[in-house]
A and B are shown apart, each in its own frame.
Chain A
Amino acid sequence: MYIMQTVLHSFTALIIIELSFYAWDIQDHLSRFRYRLMPLVLPIFMFPLYQILSPERGTWHFRLTTALFDSHRWLELKFLNIYPVALLVLTVLVGFSCVFLFQEILPIFRRRNSQPQHTECPEGEEDVRLILKSACALLGTEEPGVIIIETPAPVLFTQGYKKHSIVISSGLIALLDREQLRNALIHEVVHMKRSSNLKTQIIYLVRMLMFYNPVSLVEFRRIVHDDEFICDAITISMTRHSQALISALSAFYYHPDEELPGKLSQMKEQVESHSHNLLLDERIRNLTEDRYRNSTRFVLTQYLLTLSAILLVGYGVV
């Protein structure tokens, strides 16, 4: 019952926030990031909260007379001695649990067991440090450590939760000019300033609690994407040089070898690279069309109204 209700509550919350984006004309990604936390976090607590507030919520009488939507009516539909809706729901939940296991959990262990060995390379470190020093002074944040790895592939990410270090590849340093490198590094410093790693880790733990939930999977990914958009917006508000950030982002397009079609691992890699490239497309489009210029501000009243609507409608969904 808990599993079914968390999924239904996530779905209703997702529909309500999408309609809120439209009704309140919410365009900016910081607001969207905050709204998207609702379908991810609220359903975990909604069912126990409602049960404490009104224990009769689970009775047949509540389902029949008060509930807006009673899942039992669909799950108990019986044709030719089978329950088709219940079977379909079960299949979807098991399917998404498998996606979670094979796409998210197993790769963590695989990566742990086979950490790629890159040699550290001090070349270019001075340039990177200089850019980081000015970026950190501008954002008022502690200067991170720098790890330069020797690989031609474009690599750039921030690691650590409290004490950060920026990992960058020699290939990327060679590929980008100074302004592009500056924009890319400022983007990483913004991630540090926003504690993106810690936030993502916490949100991921919440997502893990509802590993079976398709909405959690989708919303977690959209939250991660929103974080990238937020950091892009802050970066260009500081550098005023969106073209340099666009060029830096373009270096990260990834096209895996398209030979040997039909291999499962290759198909998986192609799907992953496609979604990676789609995100880059959207980030570049946002920058090209200057969508970050007229960002609306976060309005608490609208947020609270949306939260109340989710809680009210969710009460009627059993």
Chain B
Amino acid sequence: MGWFKMTTTQSTARRAALFAASILFVAGLLSLLNWIPLIIQKQKLKSFSSPDAAAKELHVRKIYLPSYLPEHLNLAWPPSEVYGQDVPFSAVVMYLSFKQRPEIGLALHQSDAQASYMIEPRIKIRPGQTSSQISLKGRRAMLVPAICDDNTPCNQLSWDEHGTIITLIGKFSAQDIIKIASSMIPDA
């Protein structure tokens, strides 16, 4: 009787292990199938380890990076997430997290001005007051004060930089986002 019980337990454990292996096999197969299109068409949206890695692989003219981040904002550099694509239009998306917490504090989007749609930013905003047009090193930029989805005040700033639309969304004041944006534009 004891032998029988032992055999049944062993058999159940073996079957459970086989079942777990089967599920892992399905997950592995799906991941493989998910990876193949990226090999076939390399230029589609994908993630990069750093802005440099994105610049090397993508055919984007220039990746606009901020040269100044106000210390008091506690934003971590380099970006925690970098994504980019050449197809269907050229675009680079970067997210900077706060130093002490994994929450995203700044979103940097740049995409071709001819793009038929925009890559939806991960920081969701609800436009609050009316937007205003400001001058940013001689460029016309649109500043939108807003409320983020976690009910914190944030600001969105966007402008056209020689055929590339650059959009910044930051969970901080308008002054700070203007300073960061200014640092992205090379001096004439």
Point out residues on A near B: beta carbons under 8 Å: 12, 15-16, 19-20, 22-25, 59-61, 64-65, 67-70, 73-74, 76-78, 302, 305-306, 309, 313, 316-317
Contacts and interface: CB of A to CB of B under 8 A. Distances in A.
Interface string B13-32: 00110110111011100110
25 contacts: A16-B23, A19-B25, A19-B26, A20-B22, A22-B22, A23-B15, A23-B19, A59-B120, A60-B45, A61-B122, A64-B45, A64-B47, A68-B27, A68-B31, A69-B31, A74-B33, A76-B44, A77-B40, A302-B19, A309-B19, A309-B23, A313-B23, A313-B30, A316-B27, A317-B30
A60 B120 contact: yes
Nearest to B33: A69
Contacts of B40: 77
Contact of A68 (B15, B30, B44): B30
A65 B47 contact: yes
B34 interface: yes
B34 A73 contact: yes
Contacts of A67: 34
A313 B26 contact: yes
B18 A23 contact: yes
Nearest to A61: B122
Contact of A19 (B22, B47, B120, B122): B22
B38 interface: yes
Interface residues of B, number: 27
A60 B83 CA distance: 11
A85 B16 CA distance: 36
A68 to B, nearest CB: 4
A78 B83 CA distance: 21
Given A22-B18, A77-B40, A305-B19, 20 more contacts: A19-B23, A19-B26, A20-B19, A23-B15, A24-B15, A59-B120, A60-B120, A61-B122, A65-B47, A73-B38, A73-B44, A76-B37, A76-B44, A77-B37, A78-B41, A305-B16, A306-B19, A309-B19, A313-B23, A316-B27
A254 B90 CA distance: 63
A275 to B, nearest CB: 29
B119 interface: yes
B46 interface: yes
**A interface secondary structure, majority:** helix
**B interface secondary structure, majority:** helix
Interface centre among B37, B41, B83 (most CB of A within 10 A): B37
Contacts of A15: 26
Contacts of A309: 19, 23
Contacts of A73: 34, 37-38, 44
Contacts of B18: 22-23
Contacts of A16: 22-23, 26
A274 B119 CA distance: 53
Nearest to A305: B19
B26 A12 contact: yes
Contacts of B34: 67-70, 73
Contacts of A22: 18, 22
A285 B37 CA distance: 45
A130 B179 CA distance: 95
A23 B33 CA distance: 23
Contacts of B41: 77-78
Contacts of A74: 33, 37
B3 to A, nearest CB: 20
Contacts of A68: 27, 30-31, 34
A12 B40 CA distance: 23
Interface centre among B23, B27, B40, B45 (most CB of A within 10 A): B23
B30 A12 contact: yes
Nearest to B46: A64
B30 A64 contact: no
Nearest to A318: B34
Nearest to A78: B41
Contacts of A69: 30-31, 33-34
B26 A25 contact: no
A302 B12 CA distance: 10
Contacts of B19: 19-20, 23-24, 302, 305-306, 309
Nearest to B121: A61
A136 B38 CA distance: 63
A292 to B, nearest CB: 22
